[in-house]
Amino acid sequence: MSIQPARVEEKLYQNRYLVDAGKPHIVIEPHSTPSKNLLAMTTLCPAGCYAENSAGQVEITPDGCLECGTCRILCEPSGDIVWNYPRGGYGVLFKFG
């Protein structure tokens, strides 16, 4: 059985968000080459927020973030990222949860 790669964007499209424009709640520290854990987030992030750019650095677009905290567990202790809760009322708004 061959499985088509799942498109996470289609999944996120079902969700409700209130994006705090210009105030990302997760920030990646500048780096020349990403750490192993930061690179792992490009596949591990359940919302597909992390991506590798053409220069080999990892970038984040946290608009679709589900606020699970997986990247915080893996990348915050090492200082790769800074993770804060979105401002009150912003971020993902689960209808069912």
Partner 1 sequence: MIEEKFDAIVIGAGMAGNAAAYTMASRGLKVLQLERGEYPGSKNVQGGILYADMLEKIIPNFREEAPLERHLVEQRFWMMTDRSHTGLQYRSDDFNEESPNRYTIIRSQFDRWFNREAQAKGTIVIAETTVTQLVSDAYGKVIGVSTDRRGGTIFADVVVIAEGVNGLLGSRAGLRETPKADHVALAVKEMHFLPRETIEARFNLHGDEGVVIEAAGTISKGMTGMGFIYTNKESISVGMGCLVSDFAGTTETPYGMLEAFKKHPSVAPLLEGSEVKEYAAHLIPEGGYKTIPELFGDGWVVVGDAAQLNNAIHREGSNLAMTSGRFAGEAIFQLKTRREPMTKQNLALYKKLLDDSFVMKDLKKYKDMPALLHTQAKNYFLAYPKLMSNAMENFLRVDGTPKIDKEKASIRAFVRERKWTGLFGDAVRLARAWR
Residues in contact with partner 1 by the rule CB under 8 A: 1, 3-6, 8, 11-12, 14-15, 18, 37, 40, 43-44, 46-48, 66-70, 72-74, 76-77, 83-89, 91-97
Q: Dihedral sign for Cα 87, 89, 95, 96, please.
A: positive
Q: Which is nearer to partner 1, 36 or 53 (CB)?
A: 36
Q: Which is nearer to partner 1, 40 or 57 (CB)?
A: 40
Rounded to the nearest 5°, which phi and psi values hold at 91?
95, -155
State the nearest-atom distance from the C-beta of 36 to partner 1, in Å.
8
d(CA 9, CA 13) in angstroms, rounded, equals: 6
